[in-house]
């Protein structure tokens, strides 16, 4: 009988999701969720080329269809008779660049659905008795943007600030399950390639240690899932290469 617990990763086909999956592969079974089925199949294929023995389950899900997220997720767990789940990492998210005057209410609904509320729906399922007893750690991805005003990214900043508020409240309600967040600075990933321009390079230069990598973030996520973080809950760790302490950040 396989006694490994399952770790759930949303946004699993992202660079961060793939990097974390590789770190977890030998010690845990994985449940990988992503909106893009082809991308997640590529991630699973990559992982199986590394370790053919580990159990990797996956399915595509529309995180914006908030009314269906919880049911779809619970149906998947029932179908595969899964109960031994020890962790959840919510990486799925979007970061639209849109000035406030150009936003519409549906834009706000969408970013909150994907960045926060889809995680809430998954967590609500995991708080059912048959899953809750094995749960140990929940980690959500915030951003340094939650702590600064960023032009044309007000929706993103607000959604990430809401994640940090949720983490504090959920840590109180769900104890002894640990609930934490990390707030990355600029991380070089495929999804950020669209922002590689003069402005992005200037912002990157404000990071005292340079821009980060998906592996830098995966290292912290792995720690927060592990028993080495057994006395940490309700916290947001800023992992940003020093950009948030750089007094010269706003200089031209």
Tokens of 137: 């750690």
Candidates 6, 58, 131, 156; catalytic one: 156
| Residue 222 falls in the annotated catalytic set | no
Question: Which residue blocks in 86-153 are alpha helix, DSSP H?
Answer: 105-112, 118-126, 129-132
Which residues, including other chains, have CB under 8 Å from residue 233's CB and lie 6 or more apart?
171, 175, 178, 179, 180
Beta strands (DSSP E) in the chain are 6-10, 29-34, 56-60, 85-90, 137-141, 178-184, 187-188, 212-213, 236-239
- Catalytic positions: 156
């Amino acid at each position: 009988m396989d006694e490994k617990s399952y770790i759930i990763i949303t946004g699993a086909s992202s660079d961060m999701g793939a990097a974390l999956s590789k770190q977890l592969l030998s010690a845990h079974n994985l449940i990988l969720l992503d909106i893009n089925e082809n991308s997640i199949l590529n991630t699973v294929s990559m992982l199986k080329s590394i370790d053919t023995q580990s159990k990797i389950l996956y399915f595509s899900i529309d995180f914006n269809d908030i009314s269906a997220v919880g049911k779809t997720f619970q149906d998947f767990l029932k179908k595969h008779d899964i109960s031994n789940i020890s962790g959840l990492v919510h990486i799925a998210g979007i970061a639209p660049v849109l000035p406030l005057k150009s936003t519409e209410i549906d834009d706000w609904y969408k970013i909150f659905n994907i960045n926060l509320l889809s995680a809430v729906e998954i967590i609500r399922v995991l708080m059912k008795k048959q899953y809750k007893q094995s749960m140990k750690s929940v980690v959500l991805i915030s951003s340094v943007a939650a702590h600064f005003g960023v032009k044309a990214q007000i929706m993103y900043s607000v959604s990430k600030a809401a994640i940090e508020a949720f983490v504090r409240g959920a840590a109180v309600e769900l104890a002894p399950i640990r609930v934490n967040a990390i707030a990355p600075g600029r991380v070089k990933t495929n999804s950020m390639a669209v922002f590689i321009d003069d402005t992005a390079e200037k912002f990157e230069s404000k990071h005292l240690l340079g821009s980060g990598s998906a592996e830098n973030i995966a290292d912290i996520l792995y720690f927060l899932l592990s028993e080495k973080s057994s006395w940490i809950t309700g916290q947001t760790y800023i992992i940003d290469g020093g950009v948030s302490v750089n007094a010269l950040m706003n200089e031209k």
